[in-house]
Amino acid sequence: MAPPLSNRLAAETSPYLLQHADNPVHWQPWDEQSLSSARSADRPILLSIGYSACHWCHVMAHESFEDADVAAVMNRLFVNIKVDREERPDLDQIYQSAHHLLTQRNGGWPLTMFLAPDGTPFFGGTYFPKEPRYGLPGFADICARVAAAYAERREDIAAQAVELRQALGATDPEPAAGALRFDNAPLAAAEASLARAFDSRHGGFGGAPKFPHPTDLAFLLRRADVDARRMALTTLARMCEGGIYDQIGGGFCRYSVDERWEIPHFEKMLYDNGPLLGLCADAWARDGDPLFARVADETAGWVMREMQTADGGYCSSLDADSEGEEGKFYVWDRADLARILTSQESALAARRWGFDGPPNFENRHWHAKIAGDLQPEEQSLLDSARQKLFAAREQRIRPGRDDKILASWNALMIEGMAHASRVFDRDDWLASARRALQYVRTTLWRDGRLLATARDGRAHLDAYLDDHAFLLAALLELMQAEFHATDLGFAIELADILLSHFEDPDAGGFYFTAHDHETLIHRAKIGHDNATPAGNGVAAFALQRLGHLLGESRYIDAAERALRLYWPQIQHSPNGFGGLLRALEEALQPPANVILRGPPVEVRTWQRALGAAPGRLVLALPNGTRGLPAGLAKAESDHVNAWVCSGVSCSAPIADLDQLIN
For residues 639 and 623, give the distance between their C-alpha atoms in angstroms, rounded to a whole number.
Answer: 10
Q: Which residues are registered as beta bridge partners of 48?
A: 82, 112
Strands 405-406 and 449-455: antiparallel
DSSP secondary structure of 431-464:
HHHHHHHHHIIIIIEETTEEEEEEETTEEEEE--
pLDDT of residue 135: 81
pLDDT of residue 177: 80
Q: Which CATH number is associated with domain 9-170?
A: 3.40.30.10
Kindly report, residue by residue over 80-100, the tens digit of the pLDDT: 999 999 999 999 999 999 999
Q: Kindly report the pTM of this predicted structure.
A: 0.97
Confidence check: pLDDT of 1 > 50: no
Q: What is the average per-residue pLDDT within 535-561?
A: 97
pLDDT of residue 192: 97
For residues 601 and 621, give the distance between their C-alpha atoms in angstroms, rounded to a whole number.
Answer: 11
Name the amino acid, one letter, at 4.
Answer: P
pLDDT of residue 3: 59
Confidence check: pLDDT of 617 > 60: yes
C-beta of residue 368 within 8 angstroms of C-beta of residue 248: yes
Kindly report, residue by residue over 224-245, the tens digit of the pLDDT: 999 999 999 999 999 999 999 9
Q: What is the mean pLDDT of the chain?
A: 96
Confidence check: pLDDT of 252 > 80: yes
Distances in Å between the Cα of 107 and the Cα atoms of 92, 94, 110, 136, 272 are 10, 11, 9, 16, 20
Query: For the chain, what percentages of helix, strand and coil (3-state, to nearest 5) are there?
Result: 50, 15, 35
Confidence check: pLDDT of 352 > 50: yes
Kindly report, residue by residue over 437-477, the tens digit of the pLDDT: 999 999 999 999 999 999 998 999 999 999 999 999 999 99
Sequence spans of domains, the chain: 9-170, 186-320+402-588, 330-395, 592-661
pLDDT of residue 647: 77
C-beta of residue 623 within 8 angstroms of C-beta of residue 636: yes
Q: Which CATH number is associated with domain 186-320+402-588?
A: 1.50.10.10
Q: Which residues are registered as beta bridge partners of 46?
A: 80, 114
pLDDT of residue 2: 53
For residues 258 and 62, give the distance between their C-alpha atoms in angstroms, rounded to a whole number.
Answer: 27
